Chains A and B, each alone.
Chain A
């Protein structure tokens, strides 16, 4: 049995990031051998460490992630855009340790932290069951444009998730996001890859709502070359409405 004070929490975090001395590691692992809760905490911390590696959509490089975050958050107050691995790890660790050891009811009292929500979302989006990934979309939706990890994971979901239902949920999330236009290039690229007619239709509608130059180019491509006549017609109607809106705005 161990009371809370005897759990070597700092050492657990350092061990996960491979920053313990050999002697300290031996002592920690000796403790781990008979402490179930610390073993569980270490497993959780290791999962969190893996999660903070930003999941990548195909063709989404680090510079593009930075650009997405900058554009998505420029209208929002004081975003934290440049964190080191250690700071992220510390924040994750603090959240997890608080959740595991300290005050399980604290989040109920003060509302979920964005980090906890983001981590939940990222974890769920990695699950093999579609239902879990749908929950990941719902969980991450409120922080979609504020958290770069969630943004990148949603883009990846939109482009690669095997379930059309999950991809459609991601489209719904992007549409309701406050700065969805920041993702117009990724959403346009998703349209080119998408195979489900129902999801393609939703993407066309979303691109019309965005109305940006990349969105219009993607719509023009569908209008010109999509094998599905109903989708060509939908893209054409969307472009007509956008042009009409332009004319009304600049008579």
Chain B
């Protein structure tokens, strides 16, 4: 989804930042907020920030709010560092100028929106209580997702991936790839999925897995294997190195 025009709504909004998800009272380098953002998956929220730990939380408010703070504790206000653009059904939160040091970005979004996070070389990234689909590209940091609905596309490096998938769209594919770390997926007990997994990976699964039947026999040295949970369903790709795959039932 492209942003065609730039109706910039870079509005510092302290009241929005007092939402429960962002209740810490420490000072921030900068804050932005966009009001009147519709909840639900037709709205796409894009968060783009390099060298950042990013934490996104779903909230009941119809607004996107972001707060930036430094890990060094030097949180003197720097207005204009964060930027938020709202165009039709897309909200884009970006860091307007390069930062000298790593920082933390806390973002609050309406529940159910589609979320895209584009990070790099930051610390950990987490998403919780959003209740929508998530696409996340990162590097050198672990990723933790909770309450994913629909699908998740995650790519990172040098960090594990933990994802709690509340429900999966049968017609949408999910994909979890990292170069280094475990991939842990928690799914409902009644999930139906078709998993494509790097062949050499150890798999620990609460779900009975059934190797693909009816297709060609996997050749010796095959790069990937296909396993089904129940009779198969939502496509899930898992790839990692130096890690294990754990498939857990959501309790």
Residue numbers of A with Cβ under 8 A of B are: 128-131, 134-135, 138, 162-165, 168-169, 172, 175, 196-199, 201-202, 205-206, 209, 230
Tell me the minimal C-beta distance from B160 to chain A in angstroms.
12
9 more CB-based (< 8 A) A-B contacts, given A128-B1, A135-B173: A131-B135, A134-B153, A165-B237, A168-B155, A172-B224, A198-B241, A199-B177, A201-B179, A201-B239
Number of B residues, CB within 8 Å of A = 29
B169 → chain A closest CB, angstroms: 9
Where chain B touches its partner, the secondary structure class is loop
Q: Report B-chain residues with C-beta under 8 Å of the C-beta of A205.
A: 223
Segment 142-166 of B: residues with Cβ below 8 Å from A: 151, 153-155, 157-158
A66: min CB distance to chain B, Å: 29
Chain A neighbourhood of B158, CB < 8 A: 197
User: Are B221 and A164 touching (Cβ within 8 A)?
Assistant: no
Q: Knowing A168-B175, A168-B177, say if A198 contacts B237 (CB, 8 Å).
A: no
Cβ-based interface call for B137 (8 A): yes
Query: Could you list 24 A-B pairs, sorted by A, with CB under 8 Å?
Result: A128-B1, A130-B135, A131-B135, A131-B153, A134-B153, A134-B173, A134-B175, A135-B171, A135-B172, A163-B153, A165-B154, A168-B155, A168-B175, A168-B239, A172-B237, A175-B224, A196-B177, A197-B157, A197-B180, A198-B155, A199-B177, A201-B241, A202-B223, A230-B241
B175 touches A165 (CB 8 A): yes
Contact A163 B135 (CB under 8 A): yes
In-complex Cβ contact of A138 among B139, B173, B178, B223 (8 A) = B173
Output the least CB separation between A88 and chain B (Å): 29
B155 touches which of A131, A164, A172, A209 (Cβ 8 Å): A164
A169 engages B172 (CB within 8 Å): no
> Is B2 at the interface (CB under 8 A from chain A)?
yes
Which residues of B come within 8 Å of A, CB atoms?
Answer: 1-2, 133, 135, 137, 139, 151, 153-155, 157-158, 171-173, 175, 177-180, 196, 221, 223-224, 235, 237, 239-241
Whether A164 contacts B237 by the Cβ 8 Å rule is no
Which one, B177, B223, B241, contacts A164 given CB within 8 A?
A: B177
Residue of A nearest to B221 (CB): A209
Q: Which 3 A-B pairs give the minimum distances between C-beta atoms?
A: A197-B179, A164-B155, A165-B175
Chain B residues near A201: list those with CB within 8 A.
Answer: 179, 239, 241
Taking a contact as CB atoms under 8 Å apart, the answer to whether B2 and A128 are in contact is yes
Residues of B within 8 A of A168 (CB): 155, 175, 177, 237, 239
- Smallest Cβ-Cβ distance to B178: which chain A residue: A198
Interchain nearest-CB distance for B194 vs A (Å)? 11
Q: A164 to B179, alpha carbons, bound, how many Å?
A: 12
Contact indicator A138/B235 (Cβ below 8 Å): yes
The closest CB in chain A to the CB of B136 belongs to A165
Distance A169 CA – B158 CA, assembled complex (angstroms): 21
Given A128-B1, A163-B137, A209-B221: A169 in contact with B155 (beta carbons within 8 A): no
Chain B residues with CB under 8 Å of A175's CB are: 223-224
The complex places the Cα of A197 from the Cα of B179 at a distance, in Å, of 6
In the complex, are the beta carbons of A198 and B240 less than 8 A apart?
Answer: yes
A169 with B173: in contact, given A130-B153, A134-B153, A198-B179 (CB under 8 Å)? yes
Contact B173 A164 (CB under 8 A): no
